[in-house]
Chains A and B, each alone.
Chain A
């Protein structure tokens, strides 16, 4: 009886978005009288930071700092339609809608600035700090604060825009299954190292090294929070979680966090996250949807590492100590 060490690898890809009945999301953007920008949506922030990332996308597109943007979302009296926050679609679909709306608003903003500065709108650029200036002559400039006041009280313009992003419905071909179920794909490769106690069947995940390709890290800190959490969830799926431990038997289902097993802080592996960015053709600033895929490669990587350690295959999830011991026993008997 011994503690045995093993390592395993897995590589995966993951589609962005759902496509059953078409995949639409809309956005509205408008400026306040003093040049702040409101993004109105009905997308849902699940805690992953949807509002923050929409603010950054709007700010980049209009050319203002992020703290000049406020996101008002998920009120059906004001927010235009969104399919919902799922299928790794939130940032991608809503982000594209916000870009389109913000571009339209930016154009009006530049037209008003052009009238104030008596130049052509096409000769103007934003400095990213809240000002609009003539290209090549930054001394000739006007603040967005003053442009918004002018639009509201003098020029009678609405600095606003409408955004719509729609992936049309794809009907799978009956006999061949030809279909376009999603758009850009994110990628990952994970290497997991485990220790398996062949006396108790207990698995300790020592390290997980995850490489994720996500199109574009729009906010690297938020990417990190999601990828680390996903990596943890993958380990949890591999080794611990189920509502029916003896499926298809319906008994023994956990009803609280004492009975439903998940790893605690002491069970977390040393986690490494490396991010590659190959911008997608249709993503907002190239972003793909990494929200779901980041929890997937750890499961087979851990399963393969368990085999590498003790030489038995557990092809049923979760990989519990009981299943490992039964497999070791069966192997010894044969």
Chain B
């Protein structure tokens, strides 16, 4: 790595004692010698193991659940169903007043994706819990499922989630989050060329070294200590408090040493049911995802479909950009309504375009609920935007890097969501990339600056 201190030296104070110094990490020796304690290193006498009975269907009505054989299985201590969960229908963003509550801790009457949790089994060993889970009998009436976002949005498509009533998230702005800036149709009318292209991604797994999980210990004082690898301590505690209808003062969360998150540990999935198990049995409970659960059950990065329509001039100026983005939330919201909204604010990318129209949709389908992941709402958008930029440059016969200089945002430029640009540095990054990659651009671009006089 090379620090190029010559850029922005006039606005930066170097020479501090501790900041800017490559101090060795104090936690590294523990990590590399195996001495660091993670949540799963907690092992309490009498600890029970929790395993989930999961839906084998993408969409089905539950006619009945028979747990009698599972309860008789040697080593089984308790079997939990929806009726055991005090506030079974929840949504994590309700803490910041983003509803509706649309997801069940344990399925009640219906499953909406393959892998959905239906029954929780608590047993003396992981093996006993697994074997007993296989003995739970669930009678399903399979329902038509919808997997494709465009199909899901058509009239008459199977309804994925009754708590929404339609297969998209209803924002206060309607069926999508909108950004309107300038007059996009006038922009297209004046453009020398129009290019409309469609981009698509597939769900992606966070693939942390350490799978999602927690260990819960009942304390002698009517409190519960939850050792967890969540990325958000109070977010998880406060949601657990709602789901369990238990005062937050009864809950003590301990974490902060996590074997990789990447956004995969911001959902509140394992903690509430494990705490409930500890409460109902009076014993410590461990609930840790297997690698298979981490890959196919825990939320992935959403698949996205992005349609970009651009109007561009022969001289390289983009004069209009219309983006329609679709985020595949799967069966439940989790953080996806926020991800789609974040996308709306991110478009049209780091470029100054006078006429912009953005619609971003959060769509429900019968698949594993997606949620946050590194670059949430932006990563796939950047793929689409930057491939589109390459296509536009070639369309008008311009060097792709020079084309970006022409449109790059600079200090003071108004963004489509009506925030003035501050602290821009796109131009300088491209200038340095031009040098480092030996990709020459015209001298006038190398002389540009993100600064504007007076800005």
Contact = CB atoms under 8 A, between A and B. Distances in A.
A168 interface: no
A184 B379 CA distance: 17
B5 A295 contact: no
A108 interface: no
Contacts of A238: 383
Instruction: Tell me the dominant secondary structure on chain A's binding face.
Output: loop
A177 B177 contact: yes
Interface string B215-258: 00000000000000011111101000000000000011111111
A60 B180 contact: no
B280 interface: no
A150 interface: no
A153 interface: no
Most central of A211, A237, A272, A276 by chain B CB within 10 Å:
A211
Interface string B371-383: 0101110111011
Interface string A295-321: 111011101100100000101111000
B375 A295 contact: yes
Interface string A276-309: 1111110001101001110111011101100100
A204 interface: no
Nearest to A278: B8
A216 B12 contact: yes
A329 B235 CA distance: 50
Interface stretch (A78-86, A112-120, A141-149): A78-86
Nearest to B6: A276
B374 A9 contact: no
Contacts of A42: 233-234, 256
Interface in B1-36: 1-5, 7-8, 11-13, 16-27, 31
B181 interface: yes
A278 B7 CA distance: 8
Interface residues of A, number: 129
B183 interface: no
B27 A8 contact: no
Nearest to A56: B18
A60 B63 CA distance: 63
Contacts of B25: 49, 52, 222
Contacts of A220: 1, 3, 20-22
A33 interface: no
Contacts of A179: 345, 417-419
B430 interface: yes
A189 interface: yes
Given A52-B26, A274-B432, A304-B387, A317 B179 contact: no
Interface string B399-435: 0110010001100000011110011111011101100
Interface stretch (B47-55, B126-134, B153-161, B295-303): B295-303
Contacts of B365: 248
A28 interface: no
A77 B252 contact: yes
Nearest to A81: B234
A14 B385 CA distance: 13
B84 interface: no
A331 interface: no
27 contacts: A11-B430, A13-B426, A21-B96, A45-B27, A51-B256, A52-B25, A56-B19, A60-B16, A75-B254, A85-B232, A87-B372, A178-B417, A184-B423, A187-B429, A191-B436, A216-B20, A221-B22, A242-B202, A249-B147, A277-B5, A278-B12, A291-B374, A293-B378, A300-B390, A315-B200, A316-B202, A317-B383
Interface of B: 1-5, 7-8, 11-13, 16-27, 31, 58, 93, 95-98, 114, 147-149, 172-174, 177-181, 197-205, 207, 230-235, 237, 251-263, 265-266, 291-292, 295-296, 300, 303, 328, 338, 341-342, 344-346, 349-350, 358, 365, 367-368, 372, 374-376, 378-380, 382-387, 389-391, 400-401, 404, 408-409, 416-419, 422-426, 428-430, 432-433, 436-437, 439, 450
Given A10-B389, A83-B235, 4 more contacts: A174-B172, A181-B417, A221-B23, A285-B19
5 A-B pairs closest in CB distance: A74-B256, A21-B96, A84-B232, A177-B179, A300-B386
